[in-house]
């Protein structure tokens, strides 16, 4: 497939957004100092990388509040400052952090509303183009969380709503509340599990799919070495090697 083919656009699910087949993922630009970080990043380099992607024709950026504990969203805003023709900006909720920078999970209505307002401020936008539930956790609260996203859409704070890391069963539980615009699952040649039931379900129900880790966190780039893996092990803040964390 030619490079130009990657920048052709496709309609995202039931939305009015036509997005390029490649977009800009903003996990790493959250920098270091938080659990699941990729390590320290130079903010100027991050901004330059975003500009490079946009100059190449990509028209969307996917970030999350938890990336860098708000820092990624702030860097995205800095990169887009002053642009007249801005890309679509996608972000996520559900992963929060306390005063000790410890990450926790919440899908309660009041929590999501707080997250949304904070993301709007950090991103410096009037409305988020696509707002996604990052993880279906706690499972018992996914209906409350999805209902809250639907209400935020009605209020104009977000334009479209989606989910990430949901199973078919979990998507079925929330469709009666509001249509799902998109799903964001992991997918690569080494992790093809969504082909069995998730991709067919999304195709049948007009749910767009934005995959993450298509290069399996660097393993499929041809540039991963034992030395790089060892360095990543040294920068991880938990017990599991950073390279192999389940990431979105």
Other CB atoms closer than 10 Å to residue 86's CB: what's the count?
Answer: 15
Going by the DSSP 8-state scheme, the letter that residue 115 receives in this structure is H
Cβ neighbours, 10 Å, residue 19: 23
All structural domains of the chain, each given as residue ranges with its CATH number in brackets, are 3-212 (3.20.20.100)
**What number is the average pLDDT over the span 160-168?**
98
CA distance linking residue 30 with residue 73, whole number of Å: 8
d(CA 119, CA 111): 12
Calculate the average pLDDT of the chain. 89
> Looking at the annotation, which residues are catalytic?
67
Q: How far apart are CA 203 and CA 120, in angstroms?
A: 31
Question: Mind listing the pLDDT tens digit for each residue in 197-232?
Answer: 999 999 999 999 999 877 655 555 566 666 655 655
pLDDT, one tens digit per residue, over 40-52 is: 999 999 999 999 9
Calpha distance 60→114 (Å, rounded): 24
What's 53's DSSP letter?
Answer: H
Distance CA 138, CA 155 (A): 25
Contact 61, 20 (CB under 8 A): no
CA atoms within 13 A on the CB side of 35: 14
pTM for this predicted structure: 0.87
Q: Give me 140's structure tokens.
A: 């018992």
């Amino acid at each position: 497939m030619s490079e130009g083919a990657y920048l052709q656009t496709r309609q995202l699910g039931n939305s009015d957004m036509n997005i390029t087949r490649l977009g800009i993922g903003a996990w790493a630009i959250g920098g270091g100092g938080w659990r699941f970080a990729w390590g320290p990043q130079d903010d100027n380099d991050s901004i330059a990388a975003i500009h490079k992607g946009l100059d190449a024709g990509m028209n969307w950026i996917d970030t999350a509040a938890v990336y860098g504990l708000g820092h990624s969203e702030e860097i995205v805003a800095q990169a887009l400052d002053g642009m007249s023709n801005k890309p679509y900006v996608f972000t996520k909720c559900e992963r929060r952090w306390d005063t000790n920078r410890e990450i926790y999970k919440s899908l309660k209505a009041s929590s999501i509303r707080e997250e949304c307002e904070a993301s709007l401020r950090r991103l410096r936008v009037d409305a988020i183009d696509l707002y996604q539930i990052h993880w279906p956790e706690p499972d018992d609260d996914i209906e409350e969380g999805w209902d809250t996203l639907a209400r935020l859409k009605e209020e104009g704070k977000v334009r479209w709503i989606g989910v990430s890391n949901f199973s078919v069963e979990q998507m079925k539980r929330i469709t009666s509340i509001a249509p799902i615009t998109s799903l964001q699952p992991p997918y690569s040649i080494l992790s093809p599990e969504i082909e069995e039931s998730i991709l067919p379900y999304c195709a049948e129900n007009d749910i767009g799919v934005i995959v993450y880790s298509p290069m399996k966190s660097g393993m499929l780039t041809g540039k991963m070495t034992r030395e790089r893996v060892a360095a990543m092990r040294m920068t991880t803040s938990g017990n599991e090697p950073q390279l192999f964390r389940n990431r979105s």
